[in-house]
Amino acid sequence: MADSRKPIISGNWKMHHNHFEAIQCVQKLHYRLESDDFASVEVTVHPPFTDIRSIQTLIESDKMKIGLGAQNCHWEEKGAFTGEIAPAMLAKLDVGHVIVGHSERRELFGETDDSVNKKVKAVIANSMVPILCCGETLEERQQSMAEAKVQGQVREGLAGLSGEMVSKLVIAYEPIWAIGTGETATAEDAQAMCAEVRQVVREAHGDKAADAVRVQYGGSVKPGNIVELMSQPDIDGALVGGASLEADSFAAIVQYRNH
């Protein structure tokens, strides 16, 4: 990765850990990590909504440098949207990063590039950083459609944003066939697609945005494969699911520089 981009490693807990388990996990993670780790890597955890207030309190009272994130939000400010959470509600709880358009949300809950774009804008409007997810299915990869799929998701997800806005955000490339399967893209394939993501940003939002935007790889990231992934020039971090649920394995991923 380029020197100017600080790596960002994010734990996507999905629908795991109630608020007691979440507190324990963050305490253990904090204990495992050194201040050096935070100097060189930005670390965020994305617990379920019901845990966020508890983790906010913990981070604040113990002055932890772990960043608090969410996994989703709605794009409207408020209103009759039963079951939804407004971005301002998250910002009020010191949430700094919001995952937007994860493949599970797209595939299981019908999110479209258009709703993803609205969410990205709403997150930015509330001074938080979106982690915009993109990635292809196995079928799309086998039919050589992976690049076109990802290009479209990035272009449409970022539509209408200024280069300045794009330079501050995070894009996670996650091939769907590698999520939760134990199968990882090779470091070369991951690099090629992350470079492609950056190229789309370059064409649509200019050089400054492309050189500053951070691109994460996600999909079965583990302590055993993080070093090779992070040595790629266009991979600036990781979005980690399963291996982020255990503080030990997540800490080992964050500490990839020591391996």
Enumerate binding residues for ligand PGA (CB under 6 A): 12, 174, 179-180, 218-221, 239-243
- CA dist., res. 54 & res. 74, Å (int): 21
H-type alpha helices, the chain: 19-32, 35-40, 49-61, 87-92, 103-109, 113-125, 138-142, 146-157, 163-167, 187-205, 207-212, 226-230, 247-254
Q: How far is the CB of 14 from ligand PGA (least distance, A)?
A: 7
Does 97 participate in catalysis according to the annotation? no
Name the residue nearer to ligand PGA (CB basis): 67 or 209: 67
Q: How far is the CB of 240 from ligand PGA (least distance, A)?
A: 5
Residue whose CB is nearest to ligand PGA in the complex, by number: 241
Name the residue nearer to ligand PGA (CB basis): 140 or 174: 174
Name the residue nearer to ligand PGA (CB basis): 26 or 221: 221
Nearest Cα neighbor of 10 from 55, 41, 56 is 41
Q: How far is the CB of 181 from ligand PGA (least distance, A)?
A: 7
Q: Are the C-beta atoms of residues 182 and 222 closer than 8 Å to each other?
A: no
Return contacts of 112-117, CB within 8 angstroms, 24+ apart: 113/152, 113/153, 113/156, 113/157, 114/156, 115/75, 116/153, 116/156, 116/157, 117/156, 117/157, 117/158, 117/159, 117/160
Q: Which of 102, 104, 196, 205 is catalytic?
A: 102
Q: Which of 136, 140, 174, 196 is catalytic?
A: 174
Name the residue nearer to ligand PGA (CB basis): 12 or 117: 12
Q: How far is the CB of 160 from ligand PGA (least distance, A)?
A: 26
- CA dist., res. 169 & res. 235, Å (int): 14
Name the residue nearer to ligand PGA (CB basis): 79 or 182: 182
Q: How far is the CB of 223 from ligand PGA (least distance, A)?
A: 12
Does 19 participate in catalysis according to the annotation? no
Catalytic site positions:
102, 174
